Copies of this chain bind each other. A is one copy, B any other.
Amino acid sequence: MAAQSLDQVINLCKRRGFIFPGSEIYGGLQGTYDYGPLGVELKNNMKRLWWRYNVYERDDMEGIDTSILMNHYVWKYSGHEDTFVDPMVDCKTCQGRFRADKLDECKCLKDPKKKPGECGGELTEPRPFNMMFKTQVGPVADPESFAYLRPETAQGIFVNFSNVLVSTNRKLPFGVAQIGKSFRNEITPRNFIFRVREFEQMEIEYFVMPGTDEEIHETFIQAHIDWWVNYIGLKRENIRQYEVPAGELAHYSKRTVDLMYKYPIGWEEIEGIANRTDFDLGSHSKEQEKLGITAKVIENHHSTEKLTYFDHQTNKHIVPFVIEPSAGVDRGVLAALCEAYTEETLEKGDTRIVLKLKPALAPIKVAVLPLKKNEPRIVEKAKNIKKSLIAKGEMRAVYDDTAAIGKLYRRQDEVGTPFCVTVDFQTLEDDTVTIRDRDTMQQERIAIADLYSYVIDRI
């Protein structure tokens, strides 16, 4: 059974070193979080599974990793300078600033039990607040020397469209995938790592012939639901498709389907899959009037490139349409944790917390435990087993002797370690160990020589 409240997960994350509030010793910095020793492994595993599925296992995908700081014209022509805003209201009494469309999730600064407005404080009319972080670049403070921290990784792909096309010789359809940090100056960050100011995205911009866009859009929706289910372990019934209504579509979108996950806080977006049409490549092109762009774009006076594709069949330069699956890494991590979190009552009436993560996602794959830590031969054997597991392949394996064996098992259950290997006196005689399964708690006795393939076959 999954987590019933976000607090259960937050507590485990802090206590066991998955996720800590950012800058905590200085009172924090709202909307920032730090991934601890276990969190960084979980997050990296998720990113690798995504890269594997979307880049390595396909024949039509390239990867990229572009800068967070970009020339500010990128954000002028992408439309973000004008439209990447949230409506904000001020309270004239408590001086708080709140997101006008999310007032029921906000708290009065003077009386946190009440919502803004309900407390009697008078609210201003909503006005637009741009969510991009701005910074000065270079030593000269002239009006042109600024940049924004990117609010999405997508634009790094669009502005490199020709670079990728020329260097890889790709034919349509093909995609470019990117994983990286983005930044949004949220008015009211909330719900742990769900809505934060610094976060990580996994995005694909998939370039297609106009006219094939709707069908390919549908394919990606299904393929990405499959990924969340088969690779990350979310239950299919905990994912829903939300058809974003026409009136709520982003300025670039022809159609967007959000994948909603059933978090303890309710159904919330974990990935958005949008048909961005020819808006982006069209927006960033020079000589737009010659390109037959269908989307409504700002006239571009600064780009030095036409972001087009030469179609050998028709002998024409065309502006490809774009399908964009855009997922949040942090939201994915939170969903995986919520789904995996389980409190079980055992036979003897004990309870245990167990994180039933997919083995490939688990931060630690194997814990090697000595039955007696005062027996040097057992300790040495256990440490050697740990070393040999790591030498054979890239995985996090640990040695732990800091408690009695039952307690060590519980500790590993709680952080999702799929296998515990125990080294005992029999090991010294016949080179076998017991291997314990996290979920069933059953133990098997196997030869040390078979250990690596036993583990690898199951992760």
**Interface residues, chain A, with chain B CB atoms under 8 Å away:** 14-17, 20, 22-37, 39-41, 43, 48, 52, 55-57, 59, 62-71, 73-74, 88, 97, 129, 133-140, 147, 149, 156, 159-160, 162-164, 167-169, 176, 181, 183, 185, 187, 197-198, 284, 302-305, 307, 383, 386-387, 390-391, 394-397, 399, 402
Question: CB-CB < 8 A to A26: which residues of B?
Answer: 71, 73-74, 159, 302-304
- Would A35 and B65 count as touching, CB distance under 8 A? yes
A139 touches B48 (CB 8 A): no
Q: Is the CB of A160 within 8 A of B29?
A: no
In the complex, besides A17-B168, A25-B162, A27-B71, 11 extra interface pairs with C-beta distance below 8 angstroms are: A15-B167, A22-B70, A23-B67, A23-B73, A29-B69, A34-B156, A36-B62, A36-B163, A48-B394, A57-B387, A69-B183
Q: CA–CA, A183 to B133, complex, Å?
A: 15
A332 to chain B, nearest CB (A): 15
A97–B140 contact, CB under 8 A? yes
With most chain B CB atoms within 10 A of its CB, the pick from A387, A390, A399 is A390
- Nearest chain-B residue to A363 (Cβ)? B63
Quote the shortest CB–CB distance from A312 to chain B (angstroms).
13
When distances are taken between beta carbons in the complex, the residues of chain B under 8 Å from A65 are 34-35, 39-40, 43
Inter-subunit contact A29/B395 (CB<8 Å) = no
Q: Is the CB of B160 within 8 A of A34?
A: yes
Q: Smallest CB–CB gap between A365 and chain B, Å?
A: 10
What are 19 A-B contacts defined by CB distance under 8 Å? A17-B62, A20-B160, A23-B73, A26-B71, A26-B73, A34-B66, A34-B67, A34-B156, A36-B163, A37-B63, A40-B63, A56-B395, A56-B397, A57-B391, A67-B198, A68-B198, A97-B139, A133-B136, A149-B149
Q: A66-B22, A135-B133, A137-B185 are in contact. Are A52 and B147 (CB under 8 A)?
A: no
Residues of B near A168 (CB, < 8 A) are 17, 37
CB pair B88 A27 closer than 8 Å? no
Q: Is the CB of A57 within 8 A of B138?
A: no
Is the beta-carbon distance between A67 and B24 smaller than 8 angstroms?
no
Q: 5 closest pairs, A vs B, by CB?
A: A17-B167, A23-B71, A37-B62, A34-B66, A35-B65
Q: Are A139 and B185 in contact (CB under 8 A)?
A: yes
Q: Report which of B29, B64, B139, B391 forms a contact with A70, defined as CB distance below 8 A.
A: B29
Closest chain B CB from A215 CB (angstroms): 23
Q: CB distance B134 to A136 under 8 Å?
A: yes
A55 to B198, CA, bound (A): 25
Knowing A17-B168, A35-B65, A183-B69, the reply to whether A304 touches B27 (Cβ < 8 A) is yes
Nearest CB of chain B from residue A131's CB, rounded to whole Å: 9
Residues of B within 8 A of A387 (CB): 57
- From B74, B163, B383, A59 is in contact (CB under 8 Å) with B383
Q: Are B71 and A33 in contact (CB under 8 A)?
A: no
